[in-house]
Amino acid sequence: MKSLPIVVAAVFAGVSAMWADSADVPGISDIYRLDRLPQLKESVAVGSISSYDRTGGNDDGFSGKYSFIRKDPEGLVLADLKGPGVIYRVWTPTPSDDLLEFLFDGEPQPRIQVKFRDLFLGKDADFPAPLTGFGAGGYYCYAPIPFAKSCVVRMRAEKVEFYQINYALYGTNTPITSFSRTRTPEQSESLTKAIEFLGGGGIDSGKAGLPAGVKALVNRSTLTIKPGGTGTVFRASKGGRIAGLRLGPTQALAGKARDLLLRISFDGQAPSVLCPVGDFFGYAWGQPAMRSLLLGTAGGTNYCYFPMPYDSSATIEIVSERSTAVDLQAEVVHAPVPRRKDEGHFQAVWHRENPTKIGQPYTFLDVTGRGHLVGVVLQSQGFEPGRTPFFEGDDQSIIDGTLAIHGTGSEDFFNGGWYDVPDRWEKQISFPLSGCLGYAKHLARTGAYRLFLGDAYAYRQSLKQMIEHSGSGNDALTDYVGVSYSYSDQRPPADAALPALKDRAVVDPVEVVFDVGEQMPLRAWSYVQATLVRKREKIGGNDTRILSFSATGHDWFGPHFLLFDCNLPAAGKYSVYLETVRGPGQAKVQLFQNENPIGEPLDLYAEATARSGRVLLARAPFAEGDNPLMIKLVGKNDKSSGLGLDLMRIICVREK
């Protein structure tokens, strides 16, 4: 046997876990009491107030029309909640310096008055980082705000744009005390534990999901799984609970085929987890992409810290549908403490819609019984290269037959904002409870994850968790692959199955479109005697975005050039097309690889300015991943008045 390295030590920061009991009060402990995560929630309702467009359109905050429930003389009322309850999450992509106020229990004066922006920046002692934070275009606050009787959320502003406020309501006898700026020693200790848990500190990673005083047991193993075979990672024949699962190395699990499955079964029932291994750990299109608090990849190893209690037995297996053997290392942290009656069974559901259904949102999970949703991961692939309009869609949660939560946009659901905007939702980035798996507009791809702790979506009868795939009408066809993580009092359905291998695999687009007039990584261009400008012009009656390059003479090392980083999803021979402007000042251009010309020069001269349409530049081999794409201005037509290239798009089409 070999020992795996301990990874993600920051996940469990000095938390002394204790069994939950009926005296525990909802609030801050919901964040750090990981041992309590499987416990079925006592809330009577969960919901959200948001700025979504009530007409079904896409004005989810732009105009501010739906960004309040009423106007008071003191400002705009965003929410008016009747308790007892707890606000568990506040999110916005449009913070401002306007004053945000929270008024409790009918009091005329707010107990909380803070600049909206400062709520998320960690400046306020009651809203510290990492319970608050920002990134990927969004600002989020997970510092719980309890209220005994009522809570009014008000903004002293003429206009509010996008926001979401998630809350849970409890029975009238629940002993919740309204928020106070003056904390008791116990409250201060709880806040410190929550900060440590979310922020890390580097301690024992095997205890946070276990009861206090219970010794964590660790099983380590090395597996060789034969082609088409099954390897057993862990097996228990008595009741207990799994607190941690680590599996690696990551690259042994990577790949687009989704041909390795994680199968976890409890108590002799149908699998509670049956999922492509990589997707379970937050891979994106076959590669590691996620590093969250409880799930992801770090240090070359995948990890999962969702507690998994069981009654009498447990089995963790890796099922291979590969044609080659797989060598893996595994580590399972567990304890012989059986599932309690008030705890749910852990389940993970993999679901693909390829394509999504016109007029219907994508469904992560549709279940009955009692339970709560604790996480979702989404990989989304559009069918129109160079565009991602499907991410305009809102999340929707139908809980116990009622639309309880309606979001304001797909990246908003994942605590982000403003997809396709530089330094916002446009790169892979991970936070403890949410993140972006990546954004590749040229591939029409993006993905995301979100974990739910205090803000878990609890249901008593049913839950249907969905997300739209366009701004309105669900009319953007897409390939959506999601994994949902939940606890349920119901056993998994006996007929649960995955589609055939061919229907699980990642489908790479054949055509890739780089919209140069808007965004594309430009690595370098001529060193001297050249000008590069991004502009918009009317050409042929159409509004056209252009990357306009003009030069004179020669560059230091020869012809003038533009060098792009061209990311491609698969290796192969590609036809490279340009969409440019033809005109009286345009040059001859040619593709180069390793300083050798590929194909013939393309003459872009024309007497009158016009769009070129799609014109072939060259055919050339490219590798999977990033490739240099060098375009040189190799001369000009005798009639041309300049040496220019007005470029709109680069299109790469993989040849069969």
Residues 122, 69 contacting (CB under 8 angstroms): no
Residue 317 CA to residue 231 CA, distance in Å, equals: 6
- Going by their DSSP bridges, the two strands 395-399 and 462-467 should be labelled as antiparallel
pLDDT at residue 495, as a whole number = 66
3-state secondary structure of 398: strand
What DSSP designation does 192 have? H
Q: What is the CA radius of gyration of the chain?
A: 27
* Structural domains of the chain, with CATH: 29-199 (2.60.120.1390), 218-335 (2.60.120.1390), 512-654 (2.60.120.260)
The yes-or-no verdict on residue 202 having pLDDT over 80 is no
Please report which confidence band the pLDDT of residue 212 belongs to, taking 50, 70 and 90 as the band edges.
confident
pLDDT at residue 12, as a whole number = 36
Lowest mean pLDDT among 56-65, 492-501, 603-612: 492-501
Give residue-wise pLDDT tens across range 425-478: 999 999 999 999 999 999 999 999 999 999 999 999 999 999 999 999 999 999
Give residue-wise pLDDT tens across range 580-599: 999 999 999 999 999 999 99
pLDDT at residue 514, as a whole number = 94
What DSSP designation does 499 have? P
Give residue-wise pLDDT tens across range 244-276: 999 999 999 999 999 999 999 999 999 999 999
Residue 398 CA to residue 459 CA, distance in Å, equals: 9
Lowest mean pLDDT among 44-48, 202-206, 291-295, 643-647: 202-206
What's the token pair of residue 82? 């009747």
pLDDT at residue 263, as a whole number = 97
Residues 166, 404 contacting (CB under 8 angstroms): no
Residue 554 CA to residue 575 CA, distance in Å, equals: 28
| Mean pLDDT of the 213-235 span | 95
pLDDT at residue 142, as a whole number = 98
Tell the burial category of 24 from Cβ atoms under 10 Å away from its Cβ (0-12, 13-18, 19+). middle
Give residue-wise pLDDT tens across range 553-573: 999 999 999 999 999 999 999
pLDDT at residue 540, as a whole number = 79
Share of the chain above pLDDT 70, in %: 95
How confident is the prediction for the chain on average, in pLDDT?
93
The yes-or-no verdict on residue 78 having pLDDT over 50 is yes
Q: Which helix (H) or strand (E) holds 368?
A: strand 362-368
Give residue-wise pLDDT tens across range 607-641: 999 999 999 999 999 999 999 999 999 999 999 99
Please report which confidence band the pLDDT of residue 493 belongs to, taking 50, 70 and 90 as the band edges.
confident
pLDDT at residue 203, as a whole number = 39
pLDDT at residue 206, as a whole number = 55
